[in-house]
């Protein structure tokens, strides 16, 4: 077995069973922080869905999508989208710009952005493992 294959075989794949998940297909999380947020929502019995909607932010002259935004979670009882970002604060500018554009184009949509510091605070409070 190659070193890369050996390393991959050692990585533990986590597929928790969620009780409050209300989506139609199993979620495929982009990172560990999203998994941990899903666990918190599920623990408290808060119905949630993962990336259920993409909002078009810009189209080119031919109508093709140039820019779009897909929030990580949707909480149907609160009618609230949640975006989780663990990027360094200096790299969040583009995401913040997309959120402002989303709010301009879709003023009826409620979105909350959780930054790295918010996720770290939750992780500490709930003793979660954070990916570096």
Per DSSP, the residues of 29-54 read -SSHHHHHHHHHHHHTT--BEES---
Residue bearing the bigger pLDDT, 18 or 13: 18
Kind plus residue range of the DSSP H or E element containing 121:
helix 116-126
Domains of the chain, each with CATH number or no CATH: 15-126 (3.40.960.10)
Rounded to whole angstroms, the Cα distance separating 61 from 57 reads 14
Predicted pLDDT at 11: 34
Predicted pLDDT at 131: 47
Q: Which tens digit of pLDDT belongs to each residue from 88-115?
A: 766 688 888 999 999 999 999 999 998 8
What angle do helix axes 32-43 and 116-126 make, rounded to 10 degrees? Answer: 50
> Is pLDDT at 10 greater than 50 in this prediction?
no
């Amino acid at each position: 077995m190659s070193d890369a294959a050996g390393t991959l075989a050692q990585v533990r794949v986590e597929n928790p069973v969620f009780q409050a998940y209300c989506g139609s297909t199993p979620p495929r999380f982009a990172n560990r922080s999203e998994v941990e947020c899903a666990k918190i929502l599920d623990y408290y019995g808060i119905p949630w869905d993962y990336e259920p909607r993409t909002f078009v932010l810009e189209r080119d002259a031919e109508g093709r999508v140039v820019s779009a935004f897909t929030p990580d979670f949707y909480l149907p009882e609160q009618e609230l989208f949640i975006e989780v970002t663990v990027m360094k604060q200096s790299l969040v500018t583009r995401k913040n710009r997309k959120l402002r554009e989303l709010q301009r184009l879709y003023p009826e949509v409620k979105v909350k952005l959780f930054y790295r510091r918010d996720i770290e605070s939750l992780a500490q409070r709930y003793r979660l493992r954070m990916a570096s």
